[in-house]
Amino acid sequence: MIELSELLVPAIKIVVLVFAVILPMVAYSVWAERRVSAIIQDRVGPNRVGIPFTKIGLAGLGQPISDGIKFLLKEDFTPGHVNKLYFWLAPALTMVPAILTCAVLPFGSELFGEKMVVADLNVGPLFIFAIASLSVYGIVLAGWSSNSKYPFLGGIRSSSQMISYEISLGLSLVPVLLIFGELNLSAIVEEQSENGWLLLPLWGEGAIWNGGWDRFFLFFPSLLAFIIFTTSIFAETNRLPFDLPECETELVAGYHTEYSSMKFALFFLGEYAAMIIGSGLIVTLFLGGWSLPFGCDAALMQMAGNPEQVPWWLGLIHISTFLVKVVGFIIFFIWVRWTLPRFRYDQLMKLGWIVFFELALLNIFITAGIIFLTRSPD
Partner 1 sequence: MPIVVKRPRLTLAEKCYFPALMKGLRITLGHAIRILQRKKKVTMQYPEVKWDDNLPEHYRGAPALVTDEHDRERCVSCQLCEFICPPRAIKIVPEEIPPGDEWQKVEKRPESFDIDMLRCIYCGMCQEVCPEQAIFLRKDYAITGVSREEMIHDKQKLYEIGGKREGLINKWNKLK
Of the pair 101, 231, the CB lying nearest partner 1 is at 231
Other CB atoms within 10 A of residue 53 CB? 5
| Cα(310)–Cα(292) distance, integer angstroms | 14
Of the pair 42, 378, the CB lying nearest partner 1 is at 42
44 binds partner 1 (CB under 8 A): yes
| Alpha carbon distances (Å) from 123 to 130, 185, 186 | 11, 8, 11
Report, in Å, the least distance between residue 359 CB and partner 1. 11
Of the pair 187, 336, the CB lying nearest partner 1 is at 336
40 binds partner 1 (CB under 8 A): yes
Q: Write phi, then psi, for 115 (nearest 5 degrees).
A: -70, 135
Report, in Å, the least distance between residue 230 CB and partner 1. 12
Q: How many residues bind partner 1 (CB under 8 A)?
A: 12
Of the pair 253, 336, the CB lying nearest partner 1 is at 336
Report, in Å, the least distance between residue 342 CB and partner 1. 13
338 binds partner 1 (CB under 8 A): yes
Binding test (CB under 8 A) with partner 1, winner from 3, 42, 75, 308: 42
223 binds partner 1 (CB under 8 A): no
39 binds partner 1 (CB under 8 A): yes
Give first-to-last CA distance, the chain, whole Å.
40
Report, in Å, the least distance between residue 39 CB and partner 1. 4
| Alpha carbon distances (Å) from 159 to 139, 166, 240, 351, 371 | 8, 10, 16, 16, 36
41 binds partner 1 (CB under 8 A): yes
Residues 297-336 that bind partner 1 (CB under 8 A): 335-336
253 binds partner 1 (CB under 8 A): no
Longest dimension (CA), the chain: 69
349 binds partner 1 (CB under 8 A): no
Binding test (CB under 8 A) with partner 1, winner from 7, 16, 43, 320: 43
Q: Write phi, then psi, for 111 (nearest 5 degrees).
A: -140, 120
Report, in Å, the least distance between residue 338 CB and partner 1. 6
362 binds partner 1 (CB under 8 A): no
350 binds partner 1 (CB under 8 A): no
Binding test (CB under 8 A) with partner 1, winner from 5, 302, 320, 339: 339
| Cα(261)–Cα(259) distance, integer angstroms | 7
Report, in Å, the least distance between residue 185 CB and partner 1. 29
Binding test (CB under 8 A) with partner 1, winner from 26, 36, 128, 141: 36
Positions touching partner 1 (CB under 8 A) are: 36, 39-44, 335-336, 338-340
